[in-house]
């Protein structure tokens, strides 16, 4: 029997509960602050022991998965510290890792087995109502052991846990995780919001003519502002770096387009523009996804 | 009997042919430069008179739709100028309008009825093999009459034509069209390519961890480089303006994120960031599409 405590019934916690509920050999506990949300979870068919006391939720658990906003994790872990078993695997689903790991790992050292995780399975939707049993199927989950601190057992057990719900697991150090995720998730989020806000400020009438290109390019801008404020805040150094890298690319294109005005440069500028777009196409086409 | 000549069997021309072929009361002609592509069109089930001579294709036609790259349109129209009827409606599907209209309208004045069109139904795919009979269903088509020049009859007939293949038609002047389409299509394209190229240059290892957010945000970067070079070149002034507007937004976010570092600013910066994301979310959620 594996006792799994899911801490937080949002999109990720709820989806994890839906994926695990009713599996033979799994005993599930779901912790939430508000009874109404736990009732909603039950109404969705999640068979789990519903808990509002986090200490009760984790007591005797083999695996504890923190599915609350990263800013809330330290206090919750602190609250139930004495209820964790030394062999309990604690992991989380936060999308920023260096700061979270730096806070949780020392707190949990010697008290439980800890390694950070980041299942890349979110969407612009949030909350239990968007939860799906198959959310993790085929998603990449980044597990982030710290060299010299995280036990191999924690990493192995977290890997098997995420594979069990359909994830493809990769290992990456917390700092490199944050640098990479800034580039492929946090910066694209800022850029999407920036594109929407630029149109909103300069030419709001254009929204009426949006096609599928604009829709896709800006979809992530519909994400929860409070959640993303917290993510961007936690990873601000890498995000600023990544945003400046994108600004550099945009300045480059603007420069090329301006050189097209002068007939003597038009030919070479046209080729530079084609190169810029060709390199992007080649890279984009090479992505595994879609 | 309505005789429709589709000039150019690419994604848009091919889809238009698929949508119209076999309709009662429609006689279709499809012009292409290469026999192989016309054979391919026939293999796709397009029932049309296949023509390699553009003069033959347009002779006696009631409607001529130019579905070739915008740079090629003037020479093709010039070639068949004497074969057009004064009552023939000529329109096009180019995604840039001011330059196209400025070239075609004077050439066609008194020789045919002309108004520009832009059915916003492309995708990152191109070519006949991506054509679909329902490509225009539900798409917005912008029809771009010039005040004081375009006849009301041309505008009305083009409107009815596009509605006939499922488009929702809006009227907008060519210059305003280009300004708006720059913001909602051309600039997002440049931004998507810029995001991909920034990652490619600074942290290519991160591509391996892309999730659905990155995939959607950058999908349009898979578009044809040569086609997009031409589009961006034609609309370069508006595109440069729009790119600089996005740079302005990104500088703003980078500034907010940097202010988060100083404890005395962190509270107000955090609120500014939340505001920035909330405004974007509100705008994005209000879009009719997805």
What pLDDT does residue B228 have?
A: 93
* R_g of chain A, CA atoms, integer Å: 22
What pLDDT does residue A123 have?
A: 66
- Spell out which residues of chain B touch residue A214, defining contact as CB-CB under 8 Å: 184-185, 188, 287, 289
d(CA A142, CA A134): 18
What pLDDT does residue A210 have?
A: 85
Residues 159-218 of chain B with CB under 8 A from chain A are: 170, 172, 179-181, 183-185, 187-203, 205-218
What pLDDT does residue B290 have?
A: 43
At residue A83, the 3 state secondary structure works out as helix
Q: What is the mean pLDDT of residues A109-128?
A: 89
B235 → chain A, closest CA residue:
A257
The answer to whether residue B289 scores a pLDDT higher than 60 is no
Cα–Cα distances in angstroms (integers) from residue B257 to residues A1, B44, B274, in the given order = 46, 54, 11
The region of weakest confidence among A104-118, A245-259, B220-234 is B220-234
Q: Which residue in A189, A257, A283 is closest to B232 by CB distance?
A: A257
pLDDT tier at A141, thresholds 50, 70, 90: very high
- pLDDT tens digits, residue range B118-177? 998 876 678 899 999 999 999 999 999 999 999 999 999 999 999 999 999 999 999 999
| Burial bucket for residue A82 (CB in 10 Å: 0-12, 13-18, 19+) | exposed
Q: What is the mean pLDDT of residues B243-248?
A: 98
> CA nearest B50: which of B82, B79, B21?
B21
Structure tokens at A41: 């979870």
A245 → chain B, closest CA residue:
B198
Q: Which residue in A185, A223, A226 is closest to B214 by CB distance?
A: A185
Contact B44/A at CB under 8 A? no
State the ipTM, two decimals: 0.84
- pLDDT tens digits, residue range A197-252? 999 999 999 998 888 889 999 999 999 999 899 999 999 999 999 999 999 999 99
Rounded to the nearest 10°, the torsion over CA B7, B8, B10, B15 is 20
- Spell out which residues of chain B touch residue A167, defining contact as CB-CB under 8 Å: none
Structure tokens at B205: 């290892």
Q: What is the mean pLDDT of residues A270-275?
A: 97
Percent of chain A with pLDDT over 70: 98
Give me the helix-helix angle, B174-181 and B236-259, nearest 10°: 30
The dihedral built from the CA positions of residue B112, B118, B119 and B124, taken in this order, carries a sign that is positive
pLDDT tier at A290, thresholds 50, 70, 90: very low
Contact at CB, B242 and A202, closer than 8 angstroms: yes
- pLDDT tens digits, residue range B57-106? 999 999 999 999 988 999 999 999 999 999 999 999 999 999 999 999 99
Contact at CB, B214 and A184, closer than 8 angstroms: yes
d(CA A141, CA A126): 18
pTM of the model: 0.84
The region of weakest confidence among A222-231, A251-260, B237-246 is A222-231
> CA nearest B136: which of B167, B163, B157, B92?
B167
Contact at CB, B179 and A203, closer than 8 angstroms: yes
Pick among A196, A284, A287 to test the B interface (most B CBs inside 10 A): A284
Q: What is the mean pLDDT of residues A176-193?
A: 96
Pick among A122, A182, A216 to test the B interface (most B CBs inside 10 A): A216
- pLDDT tens digits, residue range A30-63? 999 999 999 999 999 999 999 999 999 999 999 9
- Spell out which residues of chain B touch residue A130, defining contact as CB-CB under 8 Å: none
What pLDDT does residue A133 have?
A: 95
d(CA A8, CA A12): 8
The answer to whether residue A289 scores a pLDDT higher than 60 is no
Q: Which residue in A122, A180, A285 is closest to B206 by CB distance?
A: A180
A62, A4 contact by CB (below 8 A): yes
pLDDT tier at A23, thresholds 50, 70, 90: very high
- pLDDT tens digits, residue range B189-224? 999 999 999 999 999 999 988 888 899 999 999 999
A170, A142 contact by CB (below 8 A): yes
């Amino acid at each position: 029997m594996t006792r799994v405590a899911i801490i937080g019934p949002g999109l990720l916690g709820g989806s994890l509960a839906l994926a695990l509920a009713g599996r033979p050999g799994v005993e599930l506990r779901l912790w939430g602050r508000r009874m109404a949300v736990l009732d909603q979870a039950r109404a969705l068919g999640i068979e789990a022991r519903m808990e509002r006391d986090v200490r009760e939720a984790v007591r005797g658990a083999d695996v504890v998965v923190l599915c609350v906003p990263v800013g809330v994790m330290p206090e919750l872990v602190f609250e139930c510290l004495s209820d964790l078993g030394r062999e309990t695997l604690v992991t989380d689903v936060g999308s920023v890792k260096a700061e979270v790991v730096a806070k949780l790992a020392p707190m949990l050292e010697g008290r439980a087995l800890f390694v950070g995780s980041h299942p890349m399975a979110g969407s612009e939707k949030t909350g239990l109502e968007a939860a799906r049993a198959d959310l993790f199927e085929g998603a990449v989950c980044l597990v982030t052991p710290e060299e010299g601190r995280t036990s191999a057992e924690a990493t192995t057990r977290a890997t098997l846990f995420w594979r069990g719900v359909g994830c493809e697991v990769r290992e990456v150090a917390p700092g490199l995780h944050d640098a990479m995720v800034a580039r492929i998730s946090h910066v694209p989020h800022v850029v999407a919001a920036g594109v929407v806000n630029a149109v909103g400020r300069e030419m709001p009438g254009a929204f009426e003519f949006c096609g599928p290109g604009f829709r896709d390019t800006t979809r992530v801008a519909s994400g929860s502002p409070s959640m993303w404020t917290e993510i961007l805040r936690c990873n601000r150094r890498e995000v600023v770096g990544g945003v400046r890298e994108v600004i550099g690319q945009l300045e480059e294109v603007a420069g090329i387009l301006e050189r097209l005005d002068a007939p003597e440069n038009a030919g070479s500028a046209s080729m530079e523009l084609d190169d810029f777009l060709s390199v992007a196409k080649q890279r984009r086409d090479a992505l595994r996804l879609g």
